[in-house]
Structure 1
Amino acid sequence: MPNLKNFKYNRARHFRMMDRNLCANLIRHEYIITGRAKAKRAQAKIEQFLGKALHQNKSLGNSPLEERLSNVKALEFLQLPDRQEVGSKVLDDLSKRFVDRAHGFTRIIKLERRLGDDKAEMSVLELVDSDFEIKFWYTAKIVARLELQGLPVDELTQHNVTKLTQLRINGEERFRQAVEEAKEVFFAEDVRKIKQLAEAGEPASLEQMDESVDLAAIQDDWPQHLRQKTPKGTYLKNRPSELFLKLAKNFGKSKQYPTIPRPAKVEAVIPKSPFLK
């Protein structure tokens, strides 16, 4: 029969080593993707470690880095090979980034379940106020899409933008750079087509369209599922824009593989059974 005492000790030691490895990798890469249960367990340990380390570092003042590395006792939580690299980043970089924070250094963002047999719940554990954080870039992508569509930013997105920029150093400037980069990375083809339409003098967004567009004159070119019974001379915000119709002209056709029209359906004629009288 196995020794239950040794089993519990080995299990607890495994958890301690796992928490230390997750803490070091999170600080080194600033985000990690792991299971949700493991992320929640490690988040408490990492928050406690960062709070103690930054508090002890603040009490040492402007001492040299080597002296602070040896005097900050909270760094003993890390494994010995990680103390120099990870500890230097905590005392030098994170201490400046989290100068106004006493807690709340990490964030958990839920992801879809892992593919495979276990279907485990996955999450992203990340440091806040970082250029690598998913929420920062996801919000920048939303703002970039709204600007390209010519639509105003909704209240929830504006609230997220305010939260992401108010405590960040040069937050508004860095967020604007992220929005412009998101336009180039995620919407490069759309930006190119919008510029072509603008050079041709055609409307490129809903704001540039006349509010008295005659829907009856252009509804004949719409797909069947997009047609609306609308009085002549009215304008709907939720109707397809001219830009959408131009970009979706080849909608449904494969760009990678050539397609041929489906042959016409021919009704099969089944002869009457000779056994039926």
Structure 2
Amino acid sequence: MQKDQLLTRRRALVAGAAALGAAGAAGVLATGTGDRAARPAVPATGAQAARRPLKPSAYRLQPLTGYGPPGTVAGRTPVRGAPLLRLSGRGRIMVLTFDDGPDPRYTPDILDTLARYEVRAMFFVCGEMAAGNRDLLVRMADEGHVVGNHTWSHPLLTRLGRGRIRSEMERTSDVVETACGERPEWFRAPYGAWNRAAFQLGAELGMEPLAWTVDTLDWTTPGTRTIVDRVTDGAAPGVVVLSHDAGGDRSQSVRALRAYLPELLDSGYRITVPRRQYA
């Protein structure tokens, strides 16, 4: 299936996926190490040059009551009942994530912007896209980004049997390992539609489930300024932002990143990636 077809499928499935899925409970991720301090931002160009101060967000994440480390054998990935949502740690830290790629039309521009400000992000790749763009996987890994698993063909997992789910995950992990030298340690279900099988199989393959707390809805192409506002208005310590670098026209997502990334850094946020707590 070609990635440009995903936009039509997404519009038909995304409403039902929320009910079928389970991104409703918040877990906690640990902060990565070796993060860079925020650097002075280089001004954005064009209309994005107009900056406005970020107001403290009224949206504050709360950990699930009673949440704690699962009782697992050392070295074994836990089987969770809900995806992780929150980045723990002190200070104003956030995670930027990009789904559905890599796409040679948009992913290089996103990587260029991240490199310009010396920050790392997470890329949840689809195997059918990654297989033909392994050079971009190599670049992601070489520049310190986290490469995660987003299945092979972006299906709705809640409609698949266990064998098909495993195949979707394994094939993508194989491509990532071939390009980057190691298998993905993070997994994200397409459409945010999680089920017990996805959690179990992901854990068996050594991957933690990661969802998001701020959805830019950039796949609807709402306009660059709208995407920027959704990120800056939702900014808060521990937030995980969902954007896309493939699956349709992502030029708005590329332009939005150029605008909101320096705004976040100017406001004292550190953009980081999580580390595994129980691997």
Bin of the TM-score, shorter chain as denominator length: under 0.3
Structure whose CA Rg is larger: 1
Greater share of residues in helix: 1
Greater share of residues in strand: 2
The alignment's TM-score, normalised by the length of structure 2, stands at 0.20
